[in-house]
Chain A
């Protein structure tokens, strides 16, 4: 299992990361090392096991439809880089 440079470029675009060619190559080898671990998992015998997506057997964890107090706005915004009029400010999105 290995990942091509184009795939790294694609994943970087989805993550909104701007990488230069040298970084792409570096990530390609790091990601390939990560994917190598899946080869180990492939070696495990899972015959007769049903697929699971989580380790806990919990189901139907619900909350009632009540409200709780929200954060004071100052706290909600305190870690934001830029704020204005109670809004989080982000750069204008340019559609690709």
Chain B
């Protein structure tokens, strides 16, 4: 049987996190009453003139730089002409051409199993505007809501022929891209709300052939999982088409999440049908080289680079460091805690386990700094975790007490070391106290003690637990274990 090699091009649309729209100052938001965030400009009423949003342009420049792109020092907006009811002006403002988009010829590194990265070449990063939303009414007809029309939209397209060769790589690319966009603060990355949308185009070719096959484009993918499943499905579907001796048809297909299959949506208009031309209403953009270089120098360290540094600098493993860089505030929280004297591994463990759980359960987020005044931010600061790390490492408290302390810090903001002082929660390492407690537990539990002595070693955990309860969790568990074994084996 013929083996087929997949090629996947990725077209990603990201709604920019500006306050106002791309060419008018209507507010940008998700949801809300239909047609309440519209004006003559975004409705395309006669005589209305667009003015580009400076913040949106800067966000695209920053993204393009983060994606290692060339910057078009001179760049213009074009009109892409087509008729559809969600497009009020009869054209979408976009950017056409090879070297006209704000960013072109870049790349994004995706992690490779076993270490290192693979470069995925990026063809362009350009700025355009979103369309309105169409909803089909059960009573017939369609309703149009233009609240989304004119929201700044950044399009990021991979190079052809594509470097992405599997469903895994397609998902990894999107994961990395999303993380960079969120990291830079240019997009909220909410795929379920449509602020980040991904349309992969998929083709296959027989092994050994260097001619790329006919591609199909997939839409309606609103999760990483859907992208992965959708690409897998299309590769299998196209393989079956070719195996039957038929041809793959170039078309746009929709992804049906409930049946996990794709269906034909439409055959696309060809590029020349869009009759692109430079928009006469919008002045060309010119970026000074100095300004671009300043933007470049002000870029933050990106997640993948930071993850690699955490592994190098702190000896964390890939999984732990990966969790830390899942969010910029989270990564900065970690670094701040380490800077304040926390042990990297201990802080990392507590952040990724207990602290993350507390945040998840409460719906709060890690605070950026101690001064921040925001009710959605947790009361636990980097200093709290550094404090807990110290208390654990110098043997003042065991991890069970530390967990209680974190819980209290979370509820009240109290500093763990203060709580220890106030309540005498210091870990009991006093040998005579532990000896007494162990002796008492052995005397009170003859059954388990007999079991242990007749060879059921596992019972020791139960007995140690009893001692911990006796000492209200404050005994040093390894000393208790040691003492228990000594007395039992006497």
Q: How far is the CA of A96 from the CA of B251 in the complex (A)?
A: 12
Contact A66–B38 (Cβ < 8 Å): no
A38 vs chain B, min Cβ distance (A): 15
Output the least CB separation between A31 and chain B (Å): 14
Chain B interface residue count, Cβ-Cβ cutoff 8 angstroms: 54
Interface residues of B in 28-43 (CB under 8 A from A): 33-40, 43
**Contact of A70 (CB < 8 Å), options: B27, B53, B55, B266:** B27
User: Chain B 256-284 against A: per-residue CB contact (8 Å), 1 yes, 0 no?
Assistant: 00000000011101000101011010111
The yes or no answer to B323 lying at the interface (CB within 8 A) is no
- A47 contacts partner chain B, Cβ-Cβ < 8 Å: no
Whether B34 contacts A85 by the Cβ 8 Å rule is: yes
A14 touches B83 (CB 8 A): yes
- Chain A residues closer than 8 Å to B57, beta-carbon distance: 62
- Contacting B273 at CB < 8 Å: which of A14, A59, A84? A14
> CB distance B283 to A58 under 8 Å?
yes
Q: Is A46 interfacial (CB 8 A cutoff)?
A: no
Residue pair A59, B26 in contact (C-beta under 8 Å): no
Q: Is the CB of B285 within 8 A of A60?
A: yes
B residues less than 8 Å from A22 (CB atoms)? none
| B275: chain A residues within 8 A (beta carbon) | 14
Q: Of the candidates B19, B134, B284, which one forms a contact with A66 in the assembled complex, judged by CB atoms under 8 Å apart?
A: B19
Contacts of A58 in B (CB 8 A): 283
In the assembly, what is the distance between CA of A87 and CA of B85, in Å?
12
- How far, in angstroms, from A95 to B267 measured CA to CA in the complex? 9
Chain B proximity mask over A64-81: 1 for CB below 8 Å, otherwise 0: 111110110100110000
The complex places the Cα of A68 from the Cα of B33 at a distance, in Å, of 17
Instruction: Decide: A65 and B286 in contact? CB cutoff 8 A.
Output: no
Query: Which B residues are in CB contact (< 8 Å) with A92?
Result: 136, 140-142
Contact with B83, one of A15, A66, A89 (Cβ below 8 angstroms) = A15
Which A residue's beta carbon lies closest to that of B139? Answer: A84
A15 to B83: give the CA distance in the assembly, Å: 7
Contact partners of A1 in chain B: CB under 8 A: none
Are B286 and A59 neighbours in the complex by a CB distance under 8 Å?
A: yes
A68 to B41, CA, bound (A): 12
* Interface residue stretch chosen among B143-151, B217-225, B312-320, B360-368: B143-151
Q: By the criterion CB–CB under 8 Å, are B83 and A88 in contact? A: no
User: Are A68 and B25 touching (Cβ within 8 A)?
Assistant: yes
Residue pair A70, B52 in contact (C-beta under 8 Å): no
- B160 is an interface residue with CB less than 8 A from chain A: no
Determine whether the beta carbon of A85 is less than 8 Å from that of B143: yes
The answer on a CB contact under 8 Å between A77 and B35 is yes
Q: Which residues of A contact B35 (CB under 8 A)?
A: 73, 76-77, 86-88
Q: Are B26 and A76 in contact (CB under 8 A)?
A: no
With A82-B141, A88-B146 known as contacts, the answer to whether A16 contacts B83 (CB < 8 A) is: yes
Given contacts A77-B35, A89-B142, contact A60 B27 (CB under 8 A): no
Given contact pairs A68-B24, A68-B25, A88-B85, a sample of 9 additional A-B residue pairs in the complex whose CB atoms are under 8 Å apart: A53-B284, A54-B278, A61-B52, A62-B57, A63-B54, A65-B20, A88-B146, A92-B136, A92-B140
5 A–B contact pairs at CB < 8 A?
A63-B52, A67-B27, A68-B24, A68-B25, A96-B267
